[in-house]
Structure 1
Amino acid sequence: MKRKLEIMDTTLRDGEQTSGVSFSVSEKLTLAKLLLGELKVDRIEVASARVSDGELESVKQIAEWASSEKCIDKVEVLTFVDGGVSIEWMKKAGAKVQNLLTKGSLNHLTHQLKKTPEEHFSDIEKTIALAAKNNIETNVYLEDWSNGMRNSKEYVFQYLDFLTQQPVKRVLLPDTLGVLTHTETYDYISEIVARYPKTHFDFHGHNDYDLGVANVMEAVKAGCHGLHLTVNGMGERAGNAPMASVVAVIKDFLTDVEINVSESSLYKVSKLVSAFTGVGIPYNKPIVGDNVFTQTAGIHADGDSKNNLYFNDLLPERFGRKRKYALGKTSGKANIQKNLQELGLTLNDEELKKVTQRIIELGDKKERVTKEDLPYIISDILDSGNHQQKVFIRSYVLTHSMGLRPSTTVSLEINGELSEAHAQGDGQYDAFMNALRKLYVSKKIELPNLIDYAVRIPPGSNSDALCETIITWQNKSEEFTTRGLDSDQTVSAIKATEKMLNII
């Protein structure tokens, strides 16, 4: 049978120690409901006792909701050995489980508390007894436990010998400073689990050396009974072991272990925590980053079409996401075909070749071309195929300075002959058109009138989106339209104008 592993989320307590992060009362309540109700973690640590009136109010509201849902035993609060002050705070808040912070290394005990082990143990015993008297369950943190195991193992075992005789439900082993290697994590926890087989041990990993996930894996292999994680790896300094990565690792590599967490809710919760905190998710963050299910290289998209050659077990659908195929200078036809299929569009081989080349050109200038840009690119390509190019706008300089009229110098090639002109106007594009008119007057050619000018970007795009400019011209009694496409609005208008010059 699979071994049950508890997952405790401490985003609302330890995750809130991320620099600049503070959840409001309503945000904490919203996340508590989501973590327990939808993500289905086993427990949540929601606050530190005595911190503030706002913290007290948030725990009150969470405790009230959890009591109504009959899951108050899943809500935990960090408390202190403080003569009962934390216990009184918990009674006011309505919380029923304390995570008591104590010293797990002789170094912390000697230099911070300046007490002997016996004095510390006596204070802890009184605190645990007071909690029990008030119907509050106790778990105990051994702060700096990892350094304790390295430098004062005799003290750690002396403390655990005492603690395992107390009415304590769980012993919480934190790598407080994120200093453990994966081999140390395995060795230390194996030794402790073997020595105290009837005690429940949680591992609380930090990520200072980017070893949080590796240490969690080794802790589980060593026989720990629970893990402390945070959404998006939030936490002090480099943060804590990240929820999404750990859940995926457990599901795929530690198959003798069973957890309750719902993978399909990880992305939603991750996004909400990012929105509440203002802390962005790196694009390449495993499982929840924007780019982690995006194939960029054309060869990968081609392989995906041929027996899923570039798939692994991290299928995006597991996490409520979809695979994407990026469009840019490394795109091949396969990438573009995948995106066209999603849009329901079909191109022949020649059109596909032109669109691919256009995307590569745009990718050289603009890092990201989106699926939403594709219809505009196709429209631009098909529009370009309607005429033979004899007129080329070879070069131009556009100036726009405060207090001075915009001006343009343009170099034009018609049938292999270069000519140049300079003009001012009411805007950069007006100046550009005035310069063109000078050139065409000298050739005794009249330019058509511009009668409509429209600019659009794909819906939901940002300021770096591709911009399509659609210009309607009137040449005597005839009207016609040209399109230009570029990430710069003025340049897209110039491209539309170049098409007009070739049409006339």
Structure 2
Amino acid sequence: MKKRKLEIMDTTLRDGEQTSGVSFSALEKLTLAKLLLEELKVDRIEIASARVSDGELEAVQKITEWAATKGYIERIEVLTFVDGGVSLDWMQKSGAISQNLLTKGSMNHLKYQLKKTPEQHFSEIAEIFKQATERGIINNIYLEDWSNGMRNSKEYVFEFLEFLSTQNVKRILLPDTLGILTHTETFAYLSEIIQKFPKLHIDFHGHNDYDLGVANIMEAVKAGCHGLHLTVNGMGERAGNAPMASAVAVINDFLPEVEISINETSLYKVSKLVSAFTGFTIPANKPIVGDNVFTQTAGIHADGDSKNNLYFSDLMPERFGRKRKYALGKMSGKANIQKNLQELGLTLNDEELKKVTARIIELGDKKERVTKDDLPFIISDVLDTTDHKQRVFVKSYVLTHAKGLMPSTTLSVEVDGNIYEAHAQGDGQYDAFMNALKKVYLAKKKTLPKLTDYAVRIPPGSNSDALCETVITWELDGKEFTTRGLDSDQTVSAIKATEKMLNII
């Protein structure tokens, strides 16, 4: 029996970026885009929403410029809006040629959010499609809140699909926007649509609010859908989207009627890199990519593994570029920089590689050794740093912490070539540093952002000499943003994260 080809669209860089606190830099987006298309071999990637920011435009331009040289340009997709063609203008500036137009897939959204009739909505969509076609742009369309539409206003959904069957549209994207579907509903709704409209290309976009994302993916494939939308590590708004690694394993092992292009052996390295770039750790028990899922702890299991592989299943770690581990076993040793970059699947240009190498040498002077586990943090730190022109430098500081005395800091800061010095005390060394910094900015009649969250982590498997990554969330004028610092000293890593904040503001 000939297998049916199933498209996999990754939306980590667009929908995944809606994870609270996550924002990819332009270089991080480009690095991940290359990895997703060339290493993981997804069919398409959705990388941005139109009109968001100048930074988003720059990121899309970097990706489309690269994709055009590789023949991938049709596989780069951008979320657009029914806005009279403003999104299309943005797309043309960005170099992208595939739009995913966001429209209303339920009467509830149409009536209460847009306050329009179906006829008005369809007319505006038809005009957008007409303009897009004239500009050489490929039309895909999201029916937002489609799952609630099927539950509560099915007649409207079918009226919408009838209209779309008359339009120049390549793919219909059906999202379970609020993650409310059960697996039985997913199968029933998609089966009904695919039987009624056999010529339409149908994608299913699942969310994980009830932890049913993968189950719904299975049922969507059984119903005959033509494409799936997934994210690395299940990133996304609220509880996230259907996770890439679990969905791929399920499709390959339980759905023999379809074939996908995904390179399973790259799932783990992509997962680790996304985790490093976002600061969101992967739960140790997360299927396929968690640290513990291929680790045997109980002695009886280790014994069984040596006796006819009694505790093995089809989920062999080698499939996903991993090795089986035992809790009492030793970890692997050091490797050179180039080999580790290859294992991470990274393609860095000469300038980026030079910066990463310089950072490793700098850290190596402070720390006994730099391991493979440190490397994603170092790369993330270097790529993140390149996004902002540095105008503020923390030139020097003295941190004191003596028994019976309050911690204090004396610092020197350079701002646009001018040197400022201050001294302050605090409840801890970093608090004293921030108090001294506030004195500098108070003298300049400027207010610093409010620190709303502070997290410190070290690479998995590391020990007391590990690199520290400090992730600080700031609030300024009602908006939150995050900066990261990396150093072998925890307080210094926090100071580096703060220096990045000073340059951003």
TM-score, structure 2 normalization: 0.66
1:402 positional shift: 3.8
1:183 is matched with which residue? 184
Secondary structure of the equivalent of 2:40?
A: coil
For the residues of structure 2 that align with 1:235 and 1:41, how far apart are their CA atoms?
Answer: 18
Secondary structure of the equivalent of 2:99?
A: strand
Displaced runs of 4 or more, over 2 A: 339-343, 401-404
1:102 is matched with which residue? 103
2:256 is matched with which residue? 255
Instruction: Map residues 409-428 of structure 1 onto 2, 5 A cutoff.
Output: none
Secondary structure of the equivalent of 1:462?
A: coil
**Aligned pair in 2 of structure 1 residues 61, 461: CA closer, same or farther (>3 Å)?**
closer
1:60 is matched with which residue? 61
**Aligned pair in 2 of structure 1 residues 462, 165: CA closer, same or farther (>3 Å)?**
same
For the residues of structure 2 that align with 1:108 and 1:461, how far apart are their CA atoms?
Answer: 49
1:239 correspondence with 2:245: no
| Per-residue deviation, residues 414-457 of structure 1 (Å, max 9, x unmatched) | xxxxxxxxxxxxxxxxxxxxxxxxxxxxxxxxxxxxxxxxxxxx
For the residues of structure 1 that align with 2:134 and 2:115, how far apart are their CA atoms?
Answer: 28
2:116 is matched with which residue? 115
Q: Match of 1:255, as an amino acid?
A: P
For the residues of structure 1 that align with 2:71 and 2:304, how far apart are their CA atoms?
Answer: 50
2:303 is matched with which residue? 302
1:93 is matched with which residue? 94
1:43 is matched with which residue? 44
1:270 is matched with which residue? 271
**Aligned pair in 2 of structure 1 residues 341, 267: CA closer, same or farther (>3 Å)?**
closer
For structure 1, list consecutive stretches of 5 or more residues without a partner in the other structure.
328-338, 344-400, 405-458, 466-504
1:280 is matched with which residue? 281
1:240 positional shift: 0.1
| Per-residue deviation, residues 343-384 of structure 1 (Å, max 9, x unmatched) | 9xxxxxxxxxxxxxxxxxxxxxxxxxxxxxxxxxxxxxxxxx
1:125 is matched with which residue? 126
2:149 is matched with which residue? 148
1:342 positional shift: 9.1
For the residues of structure 1 that align with 2:284 and 2:303, how far apart are their CA atoms?
Answer: 23
For the residues of structure 2 that align with 1:301 and 1:153, how far apart are their CA atoms?
Answer: 54
1:223 correspondence with 2:224: yes
For the residues of structure 2 that align with 1:83 and 1:342, how far apart are their CA atoms?
Answer: 57
**Aligned pair in 2 of structure 1 residues 211, 340: CA closer, same or farther (>3 Å)?**
closer
Instruction: Map residues 314-463 of structure 1 onto 2, 5 A cutoff.
Output: 314-327=315-328, 339=329, 402=403, 461-463=462-464
Q: Match of 2:49, as an amino acid?
A: S
1:164 positional shift: 1.2
Percent identity reads: 77
1:46 positional shift: 0.3
| Per-residue deviation, residues 112-142 of structure 1 (Å, max 9, x unmatched) | 0000000000000000000000000000000
For the residues of structure 2 that align with 1:22 and 1:300, how far apart are their CA atoms?
Answer: 41
1:138 is matched with which residue? 139
For the residues of structure 2 that align with 1:155 and 1:133, how far apart are their CA atoms?
Answer: 28
For the residues of structure 2 that align with 1:97 and 1:216, how far apart are their CA atoms?
Answer: 24
For the residues of structure 1 that align with 2:75 and 2:318, how far apart are their CA atoms?
Answer: 29
| Per-residue deviation, residues 230-255 of structure 1 (Å, max 9, x unmatched) | 00000000000000000000010001
1:67 positional shift: 0.5
| Per-residue deviation, residues 235-286 of structure 1 (Å, max 9, x unmatched) | 0000000000000000100011100000000011101100110011000000
**Aligned pair in 2 of structure 1 residues 111, 305: CA closer, same or farther (>3 Å)?**
same
2:201 is matched with which residue? 200
1:9 is matched with which residue? 10
1:461 positional shift: 3.7
Q: Match of 2:235, as an amino acid?
A: M
**Aligned pair in 2 of structure 1 residues 341, 248: CA closer, same or farther (>3 Å)?**
closer
For the residues of structure 1 that align with 2:259 and 2:23, how far apart are their CA atoms?
Answer: 33
1:341 positional shift: 12
For the residues of structure 2 that align with 1:76 and 1:128, how far apart are their CA atoms?
Answer: 15
1:425 is matched with which residue? none
Q: Match of 1:189, as an amino acid?
A: L
1:452 is matched with which residue? none
1:326 positional shift: 1.3
Secondary structure of the equivalent of 1:38?
A: helix
1:169 correspondence with 2:161: no
Secondary structure of the equivalent of 2:151?
A: helix
For the residues of structure 2 that align with 1:2 and 1:198, how far apart are their CA atoms?
Answer: 18
1:90 positional shift: 0.3
Q: Match of 1:87, as an amino acid?
A: L
2:210 is matched with which residue? 209
RMSD of aligned Cα (Å):
1.9
Q: Match of 2:67, as an amino acid?
A: A
TM-score, structure 1 normalization: 0.66
| Per-residue deviation, residues 3-36 of structure 1 (Å, max 9, x unmatched) | 1000000000000000000000000011001100
1:462 positional shift: 1.2
2:349 is matched with which residue? none
Q: Match of 1:104, as an amino acid?
A: G
Bigger Rg, structure 1 or 2: 1
1:380 is matched with which residue? none
1:34 is matched with which residue? 35
More RCO (CA 8 Å, sep 6+)? 2
